[in-house]
């Protein structure tokens, strides 16, 4: 019987533990609209051409873009929808004593629920208009705080999960707003300090 861990928040994946011990993750790896911490955004359709090739090959799921770890699982599904890039992925079970066990446990608990994509990007100004995808990573801190992955119920995705997903999205929107307010307050404080200095 799968267990479900709901972790409210950001660009985070929902995580379900399967009988094999593997974790099933679902969420948004990219969210349309707005800019990330690097002042970039993705154009809708930027990944449409790369998804089939990526999924038909290895479709690696990495930890923090670390290729030296050999991957922590596989991306099973990717789809551009009205919200962004929907992802479904599997994190391979790690036995006690494995050097990757701490990563597996952190994802399972929902401590690490950010998502980030790796590949080759074509930009038009600050907008990414085309991508050749090479990997997707689970991260502790995503460049876009609105992305999320978390464990999901494999069967019977009913009202409780829908409510939890809506709650995570609302909290992510509030987090993004709080970051903007904090940045504006900081900029005002710096400007005031400069005025006093001169």
- Extract the tokens encoding 32: 């349309």
- The radius of gyration computed from the CA coordinates of the chain, to the nearest angstrom, equals 18
With a pLDDT cut of 70, the percent of the chain lying above it is 74
Confidence of residue 12 (pLDDT cuts 50, 70, 90): very low
The torsion angle over the Cα atoms of residues 180, 115, 113 and 38, rounded to 10 degrees, is -20
pLDDT range class, residue 48, cuts 50, 70, 90: very high
CB 123 within 8 A of CB 35: no
| pLDDT tens, residue by residue, 101-117 | 999 888 888 888 889 99
Per-residue pLDDT averaged across 148-162, rounded?
45
Q: Give yes or no for residue 129 having a pLDDT over 60.
A: yes
Percent of the chain with pLDDT over 90: 36
User: What pLDDT sits at residue 5?
Assistant: 36
Q: Nearest CA to 141 among 8, 12, 3, 1?
A: 12
Report residue 88: phi and psi, to 5°.
-130, 125
Residue with tokens 């401590």, as numbered in its chain: 111
| DSSP 8-state symbol, 104 | H
Alpha-carbon dihedral sign for residues 162, 165, 170, 173: negative
Higher pLDDT, 190 or 117: 117
DSSP result, 73-85: EEEEEEEE-SSEE
Taking residues 144-150, report their average pLDDT: 78
**What is the per-residue pLDDT for 193?**
79
Q: State residue 123's pLDDT score.
A: 92
Domain locations in the chain as residue ranges: 3-197
At residue 145, the pLDDT reads 82
Looking at per-residue pLDDT, the higher value among 2 and 91 belongs to: 91
What mean pLDDT is predicted for residues 56-76?
92
Distance CA(143)–CA(36), nearest Å, equals: 6
Assign 195 a pLDDT band (cuts: 50, 70, 90). confident
Q: Is 128 exposed, middle or buried (0-12, 13-18, 19+ CB in 10 A)?
A: buried
Confidence grade of residue 165 (pLDDT, cut at 50, 70, 90): low
User: What's the rounded Cα separation, in Å, for the pair 167 and 59?
Assistant: 29
Question: In the predicted model, what is the mean pLDDT of the chain?
Answer: 79
Instruction: Indicate the fold that domain 3-197 takes in CATH.
Output: 3.20.16
Q: Identify the pLDDT of residue 134.
A: 95
Query: Which of the two residues, 158 and 66, has the higher pLDDT score?
Result: 66
């Amino acid at each position: 019987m799968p267990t479900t861990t709901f972790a409210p928040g950001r660009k985070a994946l929902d995580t379900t533990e399967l009988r094999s011990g593997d974790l099933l993750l679902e969420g948004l790896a990219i969210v349309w609209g707005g800019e990330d911490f690097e002042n970039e955004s993705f154009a809708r359709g930027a990944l449409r051409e790369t998804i089939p090739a990526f999924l038909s090959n290895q479709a690696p799921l990495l930890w923090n873009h670390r290729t030296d770890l050999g991957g922590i699982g596989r991306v099973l599904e990717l789809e551009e929808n009205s919200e962004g890039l929907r992802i479904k992925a599997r994190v391979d079970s790690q036995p006690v004593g494995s050097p990757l066990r701490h990563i597996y446990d952190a994802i399972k608990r929902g401590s690490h629920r950010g998502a980030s994509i790796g590949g080759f990007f074509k930009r038009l100004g600050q907008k990414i208009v085309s991508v050749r995808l090479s990997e997707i990573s689970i991260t502790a801190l995503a460049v876009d705080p609105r992305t999320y992955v978390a464990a999901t119920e494999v069967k019977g995705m009913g009202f409780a999960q829908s409510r939890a997903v809506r709650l995570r999205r609302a909290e992510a929107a509030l987090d993004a707003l709080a970051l903007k307010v904090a940045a504006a307050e900081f900029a005002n404080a710096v400007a005031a300090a400069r005025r006093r200095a001169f």
